[in-house]
Amino acid sequence: MREIIVDNFAGGGGASTGIELAIGRSVDIAINHDPAAIAMHRANHPETEHYCENVWEVDPVKAAAGRPIGLAWFSPDCKHFSKAKGGKPVEKKIRGLAWIVLKWAGKVRPRVIILENVEEFKTWGPVRNGRPVKSKKGQTFEHWKAQLESLGYKVESRELRACDYGAPTIRKRFFLIARRDGVAITWPEPTHGDPNSEEVKSGRLKPWRTAGEIIDWSIPCPSIFGRQKPLAENTMRRIARGIQKFVIENPDPFIVPDGIAFLAKHYGGNYTGAGSSLDDPLHTVTVTDHNALVTAFLAQYYTETAPGETRGQTLDSPIMTIPTANRYALVTSHLLKLKGQEYGASLDKPLHTVTAGGNNFGEVRAFLMKYYGNEENGQTLNEPLHTITTKDRFGLITLKGVNYRILDIGMRMLEPRELFGGQGFPSSYIIDVDADGKKYPKSAQVARCGNAVPPQFSEVLVRANLPELCTGSGRRLALERYRPAAGQLQFSM
């Protein structure tokens, strides 16, 4: 009889997707208490038998219905272990969800069990008055693990990073593998690495995928100036510090690839052709070819950001851990190369060859001075301009020996599709509508994403420990739902 696969705490389907990429078919059973999560799972894994119930209310014997279980995957709620929760009280009931593993292990004895959680899962211990007892840190985890071993399972655990296996996020997670079939537990070897490492340079590993890959550069990035509702003071300060850290002070800032929607178009000679700023058409920019470029970085927004702290990253590295609320904004700097006479763009209307001495740079200068200048090196706007070449405080930027001025700064929050891409989901994954045709609001999409397991984790772990069930084993005909298809359908043996 064919072994089945069960995904407990299935959520929107991250682990199930990775498992499907490995074995070429949907998981047999998915369990989750959240109707919205199950609806997303149903949309993407229609062949799966779904249980929209509390995991404790599902009888493993009835669910298995006499079928042997090859793999039981568990991703219990992690927020009451995660350091992201801060100092808020924890709930003993939620921290104890992992006990469900022993129920399945005792009643239906899966051949392989894999549990995923945050790194702090190993600190699982008693709780008193909503606070973990520090002196008993890890006690409950060791007791839980010993009970699993007493049921005949060999148990190993390790922390893995998603970026090392082809996901464009640095997300790190704790994994525990337990198996009772006498076969050795196998931990997958990394497939990707730091681009500067010898392993990547020699071709033994692929370079980490980057945050820049998951950005949809065709989406406009509106100017932060002239908004109907001005950005909050703290937001402007974060942007300014990010511009300084990731563009001005960065010897190799991320430059948006050529051909994107919002790069200015430039024409040679005296032709005054149309161009485009970050949000609107830009007219009569009389500069020579390739005189403008756009640099970009990601700003990270958290309420606990300390004064003066810059949270963000460039786009040439994997994206940081994606939370359940959208905390990432794309910030772009539209730069104009200085060559002889300077030309630029007004921030709110078409431009007709206004020189740099005009007011078109006033807002940017004031912005830069206000947010990372100080009384000693700043100046008021009604006095003569101080020497520009001192410390880049007036929008003057030198990139690889070439001088530029900041024409505009744009910002937008990342879209759910980009966040799912950052989490490693296939681009074909359905995130905006459930199996019944009901549309998800963006907040719900982001929540599903932040709670999801990067599919690369489950794919490589299943391939390493259950190769006999995977595509390429020569034992099965499989429909690869998430691979680029050749023709209408693609099958593999």
Q: What is the mean pLDDT of the chain?
A: 76
- pLDDT value at position 225? 80
Please check the confidence at residue 428 and state whether its pLDDT lies above 80: yes
- pLDDT value at position 372? 56
Least confident stretch, 102-111, 192-201, 484-493 = 484-493
Please check the confidence at residue 464 and state whether its pLDDT lies above 90: yes
183 within 8 A of 458, measured Cβ to Cβ: no
How do strand 192-193 and strand 172-179 relate by DSSP bridges? unpaired
Question: Which structural domains are found in the chain, ordered by start?
Answer: 4-207+426-492 (3.40.50.150), 233-414 (no CATH)
- pLDDT value at position 302? 55
The pLDDT tens digits for 24-36 are: 999 999 999 999 8
The pLDDT tens digits for 405-424 are: 777 888 888 888 988 898 89
Nearest-angstrom CA–CA distance, 42 and 45? 5
- pLDDT value at position 367? 63
> How much of the chain, in percent, has pLDDT values that exceed 70?
70
Nearest-angstrom CA–CA distance, 226 and 224? 7
Structure tokens at 157: 């655990």
- How buried is residue 179: exposed, middle or buried, by Cβ count under 10 Å (0-12/13-18/19+)? buried
- pLDDT value at position 88? 54
- pLDDT value at position 343? 32
372 within 8 A of 365, measured Cβ to Cβ: no
Q: Active site residue: 52, 78, 221, 449, which one?
A: 78
- Kindly state the helix (H) or strand (E) to which residue 243 belongs, with its residue range: helix 233-243
Catalytic residue status for 470: no
* Amino acid type, 75: S
Task: Quickly state the pLDDT bin for 234 (edges 50, 70, 90).
Answer: confident
Range from 94-103, 117-126, 148-157, 400-409 that averages highest in pLDDT: 148-157
- 482 against 113, higher pLDDT: 113
Residues 6+ apart with CB under 8 A from 161: 170, 171, 172
Please check the confidence at residue 389 and state whether its pLDDT lies above 90: no
Greatest alpha-carbon span in the chain: 85
Please check the confidence at residue 448 and state whether its pLDDT lies above 50: yes
The pLDDT tens digits for 249-302 are: 788 888 887 644 733 333 233 323 222 333 333 333 333 333 456 778 777 665
